[in-house]
Structure 1
Amino acid sequence: MSEMGTDVRPSNFIRNIIDEDLESGKHTSVHTRFPPEPNGYLHIGHAKSICLNFGIAKDYKGQCNLRFDDTNPEKEDIDYVNSIQEDVRWLGFQWDGDIRYSSNYFDQLHQYAVELIEKGLAYVCFLNAEETREYRGTLKEPGKNSPYRDTTPEENLELFEKMRLGEFSEGECALRAKIDMASSFMCMRDPVIYRIRYAHHHQTGDKWCIYPMYDFTHCISDAIEDITHSLCTLEFQDNRRLYDWVLDNLDDFQAPNRTRQYEFSRLNLEYTLMSKRKLNDLVERGLVTGWNDARMPTIAGLRRRGYTPASIREFCHRIGVTKQENMIEVGVLDACVREELNENAPRAMAVIKPIKVVIENYSEGELEQLTAPAHPNIESMGTRTLPFGRELYIDTEDFREEANKKYKRLVLGKEVRLRNAYVIKAERCEKDAEGNVTTVYCTYDPETLGKNPSDGRKVKGVIHWVEASSAKPAEFRLYERLFLDANPAAADTVDEVLNPSSLTVVNGFVEPSLVDAQVERAYQFEREGYYCADNQDSSEAHLVFNLTVPLRDSFA
């Protein structure tokens, strides 16, 4: 562990680099950025990058920008821009200054492209897509120079201006960097840096019909913003060569302390897809209800399901930052959520698969108000009121006509304690035509409220319940993993690994206090699991609760 002031920070190779840069005087402060493309919702993998970039800026008392690398208007949308801002704030972070967009720099980027053309380092190429692939070569064979590669700078300046003015059709030509068609790195084989797109842009409107490519834009945007440490995942490791080439050949970025890129391993999480393209496919084909479906690994989906910002930050802290690719067990994330909610989630009772209990020696029409703690260990959370009467609901799984000694719930002729209430004894039951138990008739001991009886009776079991007349009907959405395979990205198609049982909807009852349940706030439904009121569909008239995580890792 290393320290800065009173803050204790986890050590990793990126922080070691920053420490060395500050100590040597290469940089006097730290400036990071989080640069998402606004072409989808953020997911748990992005949360790792958010926590890293914003966390480093905070720990080193530096700055972190939020910048949208918005170079592809056909796939971008203002809805994604807004959702990303909301997700960053929800996770507990705030960017420095105004939101940035790479499109803010389109005029400068255009001038930098002109500079490369003037230096003979870029040319307009009229090869079509198929020809470009053919000329590019393979991993084993070098590429071939485009027949347009030796066009003079003067001709290229004229052609590039015609591109800008809309005198060519989409795909007819593109501006390419002149680097090395024999390079062992495919990204260095004269990559396209500008292409024609007749598309409306969510920030610049219809001002441009040529748009810079991401690899050209990203490094220049970092340099313009004076980012000291540009942090990205390992799949961009080869691209660093292109980024350095671009900056090396532009006059404005020759300072020895300019932006430097460092790569870390991306998050690979079991039973989870981290491809926005594949997640978007699930949305587009209606296989989920949207980007914020509670089964999705998006931050919006996790939020809807009741995950907390603190639990996600703790997860990102636990998995650490390395250069080694690995697959994280999904149980690590669930454990972080479970630990956080065990400490902080208020308690409540819900009966998800109900059968009726009638207490025959309890007065008809009588309704008493019992008191229970909102949390067993946090007195400041206060208490809640539990109505108690002659008729109750208990869970179907909590009653058997006969059972062995290991079964510690309600059995005919045996006693059980109702949570925060009385001891009851099952006397008889009624069944429907199919033989399913519909009603259990019991008696209760009025002297056992709030006590652990020491009168010789052995009451080993405790079950949850709700009073029938005051209970609120509720819909419960029970979730399993969205995918059956621990590595769904390796499947030929997503469809073959989709879990058909990823969502089960059942109807039951909750205690009346939950009519005011705050959406997204998880409650521990005692003996059932952690649930939260759905932030889209739940209302006082129709309560909907999503399963956040079970009390135990039953999936494993």
Structure 2
Amino acid sequence: MEEEKKPLNFIEQIIENDLENGLDKSKLRFRFPPEPNGYLHVGHTKAICINFGLGEKYGAPVNLRFDDTNPEKEEQEFVDAIKEDIKWLGFKYDQELYASDYFQQLYDWAVEMIKQGKAYVDEQPSEVITEQRKNPTEAGIESPYRNRPIEESLDLFERMKNGEFEEGTMSLRAKIDMTSPNMNMRDPVMYRILKRPHHRTGEKWKIYPMYDWAHGESDYIEQISHSLCSLEFENHRPLYDWYLDQVYEDGKVRNKQREFARMNVTYMVTSKRKLQRLVAEGVVTGWDDPRMPTISGMRRLGYTPKAIREFIDRVGVAKRENLINIQLLEFCVREDLNKVSTRVMSVVNPVKLIIENYPEDKEEWLETENNPEDENAGTREVPFSRELYIEREDFMEEAPKKFFRLTIGGEVRLKSAYIIKANRVEKDENGEITTIYATYDEESKSGSGTEASMRKVKGTLHWVSAKHALPIEVRIYDRLFTHEQPDAEKETDFMEFVNKDSLKKVQGFAEPSLKNAKVGDHYQFQRIGYFTPDKDSTAEQLIFNRTVTLKDSFKID
């Protein structure tokens, strides 16, 4: 039976219509245009998957173009991180390009617009310009410089480029329509003076193009067929098209801007300004802190590219803003990790258990499975000895009826090992249990084929041999915010919702096979959750981050 084809989303339908109306398929070209002023976050994954996904679907090239028009906030660090994120997600771009590659062409086009009477140099402060724009229901006020002589604007614009004027004293504005109900059309600023070094062009430029001017024209230079962006740019589309009208030549591909709904996820913020604040104020350790919604943070936490891409696929491409439950993301992560993670035994809240009738000088290496979900995963051996560590939560002196773990007089099976029975405990001066004493059934060894080994008990516990235990630091991450929409409350600073218990560090023990664990590996700590080694690990101290818990109540319809 053939797999049912997924219906086209509205962007795919636009492309199909364009192809039917004469667009040559060989002219299809897409781009992902990040601004290198921060790390990419979960919201960007949607744009990445849409653009690169279309490239894969239609066999079309996809450019990675950095819209680097603001040297105040841009850094090479962000460029490098963005490239790494895209590579990690499994996508390949055709060309690595920069808006700064086109600064001279953009300047030349701006000069032509001045000559045509479609742009002018304004000497008013930005605050006055903003005030003169008024509001959508009230006509704006024209600048007193709007009709200055063309030669005068040309001279001033060149002198702006040469650095003769101070920042904020002049700007170049497009001459469009100060009465337009679309505020973006009310003589938008095209260039401002910024005497800041650029991470690629150095000190060459003293003026920099505004995003709206550079973005669409860069698309045109690269002959992008479909410029796809989030819904917040919908009102910018008329300006995008107006700017394109000024430079378009017959016979070339006329790039088309279309918008899709941005993706918001519960318990996250995706404003770069707010993410920067979290970093600057030390709420997190950096852009790649595992609690951050950045791709780097999710990678460090242990999310997989496959899980993120599956999440985006399930969310789909919508025309309206939507709020996605973070549990869907965690479901996709858990679903993938269940297939690829090696099952290991680690104890994060240990209490010692001594098997009194097990020989003190004896140790065994017992066979255990690596991953029951993967028939090719094979098995490994784990050491077993008289003294073990088990989870403190797995023992109660006096237990309720439905407690199927270890209790005085009760029996459980130790995973891949023996059935044991707890007999007594030892406590410290505060009444806390320090040691559990038990006995084992020597004939109950897992897989031995004896009648005793096939005996059924209701509980199975994971454990670690104390003699062979590997000390580890376990970092238990929770959501960074306590509010589902931390930045939705206009009257409340989103920082008020920071979860002060979003990270807990505990000392635990793991089986010795984890000694060689490296960043990028994935493990299921049996009966605890999914974990991955952290980059802060050293030879002396292995650190594991909890990626997600084992189970969740979230259901997929």
- State whether residues 373 and 379 of structure 1, in contact with CA within 8 Å, keep that contact through their aligned partners in structure 2: no
Residues of 2 paired with 1:495 and 1:167: CA distance? 42
Shift of the alpha carbon at 1:382?
A: 2.2
Residues of 2 paired with 1:143 and 1:521: CA distance? 59
Q: 1:41 aligns with which of 39, 42, 54?
A: 39
Shift of the alpha carbon at 1:23?
A: 2.1
- Superposed, 1:226-241 pairs within 5 Å as 226-241=223-238
Shift of the alpha carbon at 1:279?
A: 0.3
Which residue is 1:389 aligned to?
385
**For residues 377-399 of structure 1, what are the alpha-carbon distances to aligned partners after superposition, in whole Å with 9 as ceiling and x for unaligned?**
32322222210000000001000
- Superposed, 1:430-449 pairs within 5 Å as 430-449=426-445
Residues of 1 paired with 2:106 and 2:62: CA distance? 22
Which residue is 1:146 aligned to?
143
Residues of 1 paired with 2:554 and 2:53: CA distance? 32
Shift of the alpha carbon at 1:27?
A: 3.3
**For residues 331-367 of structure 1, what are the alpha-carbon distances to aligned partners after superposition, in whole Å with 9 as ceiling and x for unaligned?**
1100000000111111111100000000000111211
SS at match of 1:176: strand
- State whether residues 231 and 264 of structure 1, in contact with CA within 8 Å, keep that contact through their aligned partners in structure 2: yes
Shift of the alpha carbon at 1:248?
A: 0.9
**For residues 2-59 of structure 1, what are the alpha-carbon distances to aligned partners after superposition, in whole Å with 9 as ceiling and x for unaligned?**
x9xx996652000011111112212323210000000000011111111110010111
Shift of the alpha carbon at 1:446?
A: 1.3
Q: 1:486 aligns with which of 484, 487, 490?
A: 484
Which residue is 2:526 aligned to?
526
Which residue is 1:58 aligned to?
56
Residues of 2 paired with 1:405 and 1:487: CA distance? 41
Residues of 2 paired with 1:75 and 1:103: CA distance? 15
- State whether residues 39 and 294 of structure 2, in contact with CA within 8 Å, keep that contact through their aligned partners in structure 1: yes
Structure 1 unpaired stretches of 5+: none
SS at match of 1:424: strand
Residues of 2 paired with 1:523 and 1:261: CA distance? 43
Shift of the alpha carbon at 1:256?
A: 7.4
- State whether residues 310 and 332 of structure 2, in contact with CA within 8 Å, keep that contact through their aligned partners in structure 1: yes
Residues of 2 paired with 1:541 and 1:453: CA distance? 42
Which residue is 2:274 aligned to?
278
Code of the aligned partner of 2:362: E
- State whether residues 248 and 254 of structure 1, in contact with CA within 8 Å, keep that contact through their aligned partners in structure 2: no
Comparing 429-438 with 230-239, which one deviates more in the overlay? 429-438
SS at match of 2:240: helix
Q: 2:184 aligns with which of 181, 184, 187?
A: 187
Code of the aligned partner of 1:545: F
Q: 2:169 aligns with which of 158, 162, 172?
A: 172
Is 2:7 the counterpart of 1:15?
no
Which residue is 2:539 aligned to?
540
Residues of 2 paired with 1:60 and 1:34: CA distance? 16
Which residue is 2:462 aligned to?
464
Which residue is 1:551 aligned to?
550
Q: Measured at CA, do residues 434 and 410 of structure 1 come closer, stay the same or move farther in structure 2, by a change above 3 Å?
A: same
Code of the aligned partner of 1:105: Y
Percent identical pairs in the alignment equals: 53
Which residue is 1:513 aligned to?
513
Shift of the alpha carbon at 1:459?
A: 1.1
SS at match of 1:428: strand
SS at match of 2:412: strand
Structure 2 unpaired stretches of 5+: none
SS at match of 1:230: strand
**For residues 382-424 of structure 1, what are the alpha-carbon distances to aligned partners after superposition, in whole Å with 9 as ceiling and x for unaligned?**
2222100000000010000011221110000100011111111
- State whether residues 233 and 266 of structure 1, in contact with CA within 8 Å, keep that contact through their aligned partners in structure 2: yes
**For residues 449-506 of structure 1, what are the alpha-carbon distances to aligned partners after superposition, in whole Å with 9 as ceiling and x for unaligned?**
1159866965100111000011100001101110011111213212211011111111
Q: 1:325 aligns with which of 306, 321, 324?
A: 321
Residues of 2 paired with 1:65 and 1:85: CA distance? 12
**For residues 53-78 of structure 1, what are the alpha-carbon distances to aligned partners after superposition, in whole Å with 9 as ceiling and x for unaligned?**
00101110111000000000010000
Residues of 2 paired with 1:229 and 1:555: CA distance? 36
Residues of 2 paired with 1:28 and 1:413: CA distance? 74
Is 2:186 the counterpart of 1:203?
no
**For residues 497-516 of structure 1, what are the alpha-carbon distances to aligned partners after superposition, in whole Å with 9 as ceiling and x for unaligned?**
10111111111101100111
Q: Structure 1 length normalisation: TM-score? A: 0.96
Code of the aligned partner of 1:278: K
- State whether residues 19 and 25 of structure 2, in contact with CA within 8 Å, keep that contact through their aligned partners in structure 1: yes
Shift of the alpha carbon at 1:130?
A: 2.2
- Superposed, 1:252-401 pairs within 5 Å as 252-255=248-251, 257-401=253-397
Number of corresponding residues:
549
SS at match of 2:376: helix
Q: 1:120 aligns with which of 117, 120, 123?
A: 117
Code of the aligned partner of 1:90: W
Residues of 2 paired with 1:196 and 1:137: CA distance? 24
- State whether residues 269 and 329 of structure 1, in contact with CA within 8 Å, keep that contact through their aligned partners in structure 2: yes
Is 2:104 the counterpart of 1:107?
yes
Residues of 1 paired with 2:7 and 2:389: CA distance? 49
Q: Measured at CA, do residues 540 and 8 of structure 1 come closer, stay the same or move farther in structure 2, by a change above 3 Å?
A: farther
**For residues 303-341 of structure 1, what are the alpha-carbon distances to aligned partners after superposition, in whole Å with 9 as ceiling and x for unaligned?**
001100000010010000010211111111000000001
Residues of 2 paired with 1:501 and 1:140: CA distance? 48
Residues of 2 paired with 1:420 and 1:182: CA distance? 77
Q: Measured at CA, do residues 422 and 401 of structure 1 come closer, stay the same or move farther in structure 2, by a change above 3 Å?
A: same
**For residues 101-154 of structure 1, what are the alpha-carbon distances to aligned partners after superposition, in whole Å with 9 as ceiling and x for unaligned?**
000000000001101101101110011122112211123322100000001111
Residues of 1 paired with 2:254 and 2:136: CA distance? 31
- State whether residues 389 and 465 of structure 2, in contact with CA within 8 Å, keep that contact through their aligned partners in structure 1: yes
- State whether residues 52 and 62 of structure 2, in contact with CA within 8 Å, keep that contact through their aligned partners in structure 1: yes
Which residue is 1:409 aligned to?
405
Code of the aligned partner of 1:193: M
- State whether residues 340 and 522 of structure 2, in contact with CA within 8 Å, keep that contact through their aligned partners in structure 1: no
Which residue is 1:504 aligned to?
504
Code of the aligned partner of 2:35: E
Residues of 1 paired with 2:128 and 2:57: CA distance? 50
Residues of 1 paired with 2:288 and 2:443: CA distance? 49
Which residue is 1:222 aligned to?
219
Residues of 2 paired with 1:105 and 1:7: CA distance? 45
Residues of 1 paired with 2:271 and 2:340: CA distance? 33
Residues of 2 paired with 1:50 and 1:326: CA distance? 18
Residues of 2 paired with 1:139 and 1:184: CA distance? 5
Is 2:60 the counterpart of 1:86?
no
Q: Measured at CA, do residues 367 and 75 of structure 1 come closer, stay the same or move farther in structure 2, by a change above 3 Å?
A: same
Coordinate RMSD, CA, aligned: 1.8
- State whether residues 351 and 395 of structure 1, in contact with CA within 8 Å, keep that contact through their aligned partners in structure 2: yes
